[in-house]
Amino acid sequence: MGLASDQQPIPLQRCPGLVVVSDTPKGRGIFATKDIPAKTIIDVCPVLVLGLDENVKHIEHTSLYHYTYNWPIRDGNGDRKVAQAVVFGLGSMFNHSTQDQNVGWTRDDTRLLVTYRALRDIPAGEELCISYGGRLTFKDADRSDLPSDEDGIEQMNQIQLG
């Protein structure tokens, strides 16, 4: 039996030669064990988009809060809203780098995927980092000169994945 065009399987792709290192200044992080050429697909990650209420009532009170990303949606009235999404796979493991990100991403909001690609050649031994945007809740381990945001207002789930 064939699949309708909107049901075509989505190929998943993960770059080989990646490892999780658990004791970095940023917690766990993803590192390359071999050279990765620019534009290589690093991972194709399915996402779970959380309900707006679900996020406020539940997720914001859990550790998962620190692993969700902005996801634009339309509410029942067709108005634009920013929901939160859990990104499965490596998408939830990339740490933030303010100035030296080597991984970028594209969002597919129809198929609910994020595809991560190397922004440049990544040499073996380097950590793979994305940008969370300009608003961080934690002290950036790359920038010891900056004070951390201690008022708790700027939350990690405001990561500007978009």
Ligand X SMILES: C[S@@+](CC[C@H](N)C(=O)[O-])C[C@H]1O[C@@H](n2cnc3c(N)ncnc32)[C@H](O)[C@@H]1O
Positions touching ligand X (CB under 6 A) are 26-29, 66-67, 92-93, 95-96, 138, 140-142, 156
In angstroms, give the least distance from the CB of 51 to ligand X.
21
In angstroms, give the least distance from the CB of 68 to ligand X.
9
In angstroms, give the least distance from the CB of 98 to ligand X.
7
What lies within 8 Å, CB to CB, of 95 at 6+ separation is 24, 26, 27, 29, 30, 127, 129, 130
| CA-closest candidate to residue 108, choices 42, 46, 50 | 46
Q: Where are the alpha helices (DSSP H) in the chain?
A: 52-57
Nearer to ligand X, 44 or 136 (CB): 136
How far, in Å, CA of 148 to CA of 85, rounded? 25
Nearer to ligand X, 72 or 133 (CB): 133
| CA-closest candidate to residue 149, choices 159, 160, 157, 139 | 139
3-state SS class at 22: strand
How far, in Å, CA of 127 to CA of 153, rounded? 28
Cβ neighbours of 162 (radius 10 Å):
13
In angstroms, give the least distance from the CB of 28 to ligand X.
3
Nearer to ligand X, 40 or 98 (CB): 98
In angstroms, give the least distance from the CB of 104 to ligand X.
16
Nearer to ligand X, 29 or 44 (CB): 29
Nearer to ligand X, 19 or 37 (CB): 19
What lies within 8 Å, CB to CB, of 22 at 6+ separation is 28
